[in-house]
Amino acid sequence: MGTGPGARTHSIPIPHFTAIGATTRAGLISGPLRSRFGLILRLNHYEMGDLKTIVLRSARLLGIEVDETGAEEIARRGRGTPRIANRLLRRVRDYAQVRADGHITREVAQAALDMLEVDPYGLDEIDQKVMRTILEKYSGGPVGLNTIAASIGEDANTIEEVYEPYLMQLGFLDRTPRGRVGTQRAFAYFQVQRRGFTPSLDL
């Protein structure tokens, strides 16, 4: 209590308890506080098989008819995140109710997700705009974040915090001191020609 030389320490009896914390920005926690946690774990993205199980379960709870292949296609584009996979499931359901008698197969899921501009890696419209701007307009970079944001009409902080991490996980984007750079993998996937490079990528 108090500040400076006059500060005093008071001990308060507290029953034993377990503290559990979760954060996506562990680097912002002070070292002394972080070291007081006895066990530090990292939550990784779900594997496609696990995500497929989640999609099938969600479909049962929502009363949606979906076969194994349809659930697998939705899971594949779910970016390893149940929340995103469940959101895509609902959108595919809407499409299936209008155009496929309410039953979701692989073909129905592919058609619905293609209409939503969600590609096989789960990249949506903004993800694709970011990458195509870097690859096509700026020849793969390096290009500054604010320049990319101005080019596609999106907030720079949103690009940096929402879209870039997944693009980097896929190996499509690198951050360098000079700016953002598209990788060879990105040129291959988006089928953008670059001098001395022939696109070739197995999905």
pLDDT tens per residue, range 110-127: 888 888 888 888 788 888
**Structural domains in the chain plus CATH codes:** 48-115 (1.10.8.60), 125-189 (1.10.10.10)
pLDDT score of 197 more than 50: no
Segment 60-69 shows an average pLDDT of 86
Q: What is the pTM of this model?
A: 0.67
Segment 147-162 shows an average pLDDT of 83
Lowest mean pLDDT among 21-35, 62-76, 103-117: 21-35
> Which among 99, 98, 166, 106 is positioned nearest to 130, based on CA atoms?
166
Segment 141-146 shows an average pLDDT of 83
- Those residues whose C-beta lies under 8 Å from the C-beta of residue 99, and which sit 6 or more positions away, are 108, 111
